[in-house]
Amino acid sequence: MSHSPVPEDRTALPLYVDLDGTLLRSDLLLESFLELIKRNLFYLLLIPLWLLRGKAALKREIAGRVQLRVDLLPWNTGLLAYLQEQKAKGRRLVLISASDQLLVDAVAAHLDTFDAAIGSDGEHNCGGTAKQQRIAAEAPHYVYAGDRAVDLEVWRHAAAAIPVDVSPALRQQLAAMVPIEVEFTRQGSRWRAALRALRLHQWLKNLLLLLPLALAHELGNSALLLQALLAFVSFGLCASSVYVLNDLLDLPSDRAHHSKHRRPFASGELPLLHGLLLSPLLLVLAFALASTLPVAFVGALALYYFCTGLYSFVLKRIMLVDVIVLAGLYTLRIIAGAAAVGVALSFWLLAFSMFLFFSLAVVKRYTELDYLQKAGFAQSQGRGYLAQDLPMMALFGSTSALMSVMVFALYINNEDTRSQYATPELLWLLCPLLLYLITRIWLLAARGQLAEDPIVYAIRDHTSQALMLVGAILLWLAILDWRVMLAL
């Protein structure tokens, strides 16, 4: 059987473009899977049954139940610009993918760049050899743009290749097989993106686990301090597991957000599959470390993960419930810290932390609503709030902040508390410090100058750092017995 010769100008040949990982810095099957389980977790029970009928059937079942925001998906902008340039020159462009036809059509309609779109049809999976046969039935000579080794069968029969973000080994293999028309490489390190996904800076919140030990005046006890530090790391790993899971479930709302769209999974810097593997791995490490600590701490950690999971799937979309849960999770850190070292907690301390962290959780929502109102949006994406809720949120949050200081004053005046300090009168100086610290955060939020998590802001802000240092010094001075010091 004779074949027509390959044209010298390969740019005149039809260009077949893969979607997942190539034109799109994500995977439509995983995107739709995450959207599906976010709507109803019980779909996980049906997925094995769908898979028994084959990959194509699984993709069709999922695609038919979700509606992805294709306008928010992270595109490979360099490749997309090249395709638009080729389109302007009259070149035939075909989008071809193993993703379901419903999703491929939605992408093609949104981009309005392709002459045709081909995907899996619910019975036949358009990947590997099947993809090559589908292309060969239409064009004896073609150029193919792809990103993975599974595309080698397609490239082997192509007149030229356009590798996109391929590994060095695959790039070398391709170069020996077919001419390279043009190539696109990913910028940035995936390792750095993975570290960003862990949000290690958020681990600073887990310093709350050391608070019970500090208030019990046992920081000098090396055995208890080691237990508290192990609890800190365990909680950090568990929290990072939750952050990764939350980012995977929050893809559409993060991409619509003015700053969260730069997160590793939302931006496509890190493959979704990495997140689906990383989250359970971190969780296993967290509980492996927790198993060396008292059972009460393991229970607190399990409760934390359960509540955060419930928050990620359901509660964060319910107005006010979300901020109450967030405040409770901060308080739970203090409870877990006490459980790790076996010290008793004061009722006043728990009440103080609940009011304080409720205020800080509300200020976080306040800043998001403030941005929405200024941007002209009526409702937050993936949340239960309206832009018109802004004044009431300010009222709730500022009132709770003032109540936390009042509860702290009652805590100081409690006889049990006073008995633990040599100079308890010095603790009263912490009240104005707290008032200034909290009301300053709310004032900055009202001015639109607070663009991040208030706790992270306080940790990074020099004024807040100075106030917290002064507070720590006052606490230390209140503990010291000046009569003993003077005698020495």
Taking only the tens place, the pLDDT of each residue in 73-106 is 999 999 999 999 999 999 999 999 999 999 999 9
161 SS3 class: strand
1 domain residue, yes or no: no
Predicted pLDDT of residue 9:
63
Picking from 64-68, 214-218, 390-394, 468-472, which range would have the lowest pLDDT averaged per residue? 214-218
428 domain residue, yes or no: yes
| Total domains present in the chain | 2
| CATH number reported for the structural domain that contains residue 309 in this entry | 1.10.600
Q: Could you tell me if 130 and 230 lie in one domain?
A: no
Q: Are residues 225 and 277 in contact, defined by beta-carbon separation less than 8 angstroms?
A: no
185 domain residue, yes or no: no
Predicted pLDDT of residue 202:
87
186 domain residue, yes or no: no
Helices (H), 318-429: 321-341, 347-375, 390-413, 415-418
Q: Could you tell me if 261 and 402 lie in one domain?
A: yes
Q: Name residues whose C-beta falls within 8 Å of residue 372's C-beta, 6 or more positions apart in sequence.
A: 378, 379, 380, 387
Predicted pLDDT of residue 190:
86
Q: Could you tell me if 226 and 138 lie in one domain?
A: no
Pair of tokens at residue 292 = 């060396």
Q: Pick from 116, 145, 177: which residue ends a domain?
A: 177
Q: Are residues 148 and 21 in contact, defined by beta-carbon separation less than 8 angstroms?
A: yes
Q: Are residues 304 and 238 in contact, defined by beta-carbon separation less than 8 angstroms?
A: yes
Q: Could you tell me if 222 and 357 lie in one domain?
A: yes
| pLDDT score of 328 more than 90 | yes
Distances 343 to 93, 182, 205, 230 between C-alpha atoms, Å: 68, 65, 20, 16
Interatomic CA distance for residues 13 and 131, integer angstroms: 18
Picking from 39-53, 335-349, 414-428, which range would have the lowest pLDDT averaged per residue? 414-428
- H-run or E-run covering 98: strand 93-100
Strand order in the sheet with 93-100: 116-120, 93-100, 15-17, 143-146, 160-163
| pLDDT score of 10 more than 70 | no
Predicted pLDDT of residue 374:
83
| pLDDT score of 7 more than 80 | no
Amino acid at 321: V
Q: Name residues whose C-beta falls within 8 Å of residue 213's C-beta, 6 or more positions apart in sequence.
A: 219, 221, 224, 225, 228, 337, 341, 343
Q: What percent of the chain has pLDDT over 90?
A: 68
Predicted pLDDT of residue 382:
66
| pLDDT score of 304 more than 90 | yes
Tens of pLDDT, residue by residue over 145-162, are 999 998 899 999 999 999
Domain encompassing residue 410: 193-487
183 domain residue, yes or no: no
Q: Are residues 162 and 145 in contact, defined by beta-carbon separation less than 8 angstroms?
A: yes
User: CA-based angle 270:323:427, to the nearest 5?
Assistant: 110
4 domain residue, yes or no: no
| Residue 378 banded pLDDT, cuts 50, 70, 90 | confident
188 domain residue, yes or no: no
Q: Name residues whose C-beta falls within 8 Å of residue 486's C-beta, 6 or more positions apart in sequence.
A: none
Q: Could you tell me if 164 and 228 lie in one domain?
A: no
Q: Could you tell me if 153 and 232 lie in one domain?
A: no
- The DSSP code sequence of 247-271 is HHHTHHHHHHSTTGGGSHHHHTSS-
Q: Could you tell me if 110 and 58 lie in one domain?
A: yes
Torsion sign (Cα): 412, 415, 417, 419: positive
Q: Could you tell me if 430 and 323 lie in one domain?
A: yes
473 domain residue, yes or no: yes
Q: Pick from 177, 203, 220: which residue ends a domain?
A: 177
Interatomic CA distance for residues 49 and 310, integer angstroms: 25
Pair of tokens at residue 138 = 């239409």
Higher pLDDT, 1 or 459: 459
Q: Could you tell me if 163 and 198 lie in one domain?
A: no
Q: Pick from 177, 202, 233: which residue ends a domain?
A: 177
| Residue 486 banded pLDDT, cuts 50, 70, 90 | very low
Predicted pLDDT of residue 488:
46
Distances 368 to 231, 267, 314, 436 between C-alpha atoms, Å: 32, 20, 19, 23
| CATH number reported for the structural domain that contains residue 173 in this entry | 3.40.50.1000
Q: Could you tell me if 329 and 428 lie in one domain?
A: yes
Q: Could you tell me if 202 and 173 lie in one domain?
A: no
Q: Residues for the chain: how many in total?
A: 488
| pLDDT score of 28 more than 60 | yes
Predicted pLDDT of residue 452:
66
| Residue 4 banded pLDDT, cuts 50, 70, 90 | very low
Pair of tokens at residue 8 = 């010298």
